Amino acid sequence: KRGECMAQPKKKTSVGGTIVCIALAAAVIVGIYMSVTRNKQKNAIEADANVTEATTLIARDLDKDYPATVREVMKYYCRITKCLYSDGVSESELTKLTDKLRALYTDELLEKNDRTEMIGLIKTEIKNYEKAGTKIQSYNVAESGEITYYRNETPQRAVINIYFTLKQEKDSSFERAYEEFVLVQDDDARWKIMGWRLSEGQ
């Protein structure tokens, strides 16, 4: 009987200890889950913060996702140009963005613009912009109905007008730089930039 009386409290203690252990384990699991969730949220926020216009433009695979129309080609071109001259890109980003620009050029235009020289020229122009306190505030690409097509030519040719709005930081004034671009279709029906010139504002 004495042994039986001693056994009962031990059972109660064992059950109570088990309950406490389960509760502690549950608390640990919940704590780990919350910690992992917080880390995931933090990483997601940091990842979003690292997604800049430059990284977005660079990430586009032009072999699989080349702009489908003349206007889309020029919109992509303008986005890259604005990013280069106004977003304070790193040297690595500058090189990669220049390569994206070159991917929009015809073979003939590429031959006339050596890659190394083009990168050097862009670096110089960026420094000049910074020295003058000039930034590209925005850009405008002509609407589809305003593009002139020469479909009877081989290759097909298109002429489109764009302009950049430049902001002068010293006096917050604005001016526009108008340009006229000529694009032709390559053998894969992709519109490529053949050349451009400064134009009069419309």
In whole angstroms, what is the distance from residue 93 CA to residue 62 CA?
16
pTM confidence score: 0.75
pLDDT (tens digit, 9 = 90+) per residue, 34-56? 655 565 554 444 434 458 999 99
Residue 173 lies in a domain: yes
Q: Is residue 58 part of a domain?
A: no
> Is the residue at 137 inside a domain?
yes
CATH of the domain at 169: 3.10.450.100
Token look-up 């302009």 returns: 163
In a domain, 34, yes or no: no
Kindly state whether residue 24 falls inside one of the protein's structural domains: no
Q: Pick the closest to residue 50 from 94, 101, 93 (CA basis).
A: 93
Would you state the pLDDT for residue 177?
Answer: 96
62 falls within a domain: no
When divided into structural domains, the chain yields a total of 1
Tell me, yes or no, whether 182 lies in a domain: yes
For residue 1, being part of any structural domain is answered with no
Range of the domain at 180: 68-198
| 66 Cβ contact partners less than 8 Å away, ≥ 6 residues apart | 190
How confident is the model at residue 167, as a pLDDT? 94
Give residue 3's pLDDT: 38
Q: Are the C-beta atoms of residues 77 and 182 closer than 8 Å to each other? A: no
Contacts of 193 (CB under 8 A, 6+ apart): 73, 77, 104, 105, 106, 109, 181, 182, 183
Average pLDDT per 10 consecutive residues for the chain, totaling 202 residues: 39 55 62 58 46 95 98 98 92 97 98 98 96 95 97 95 94 94 97 95 62
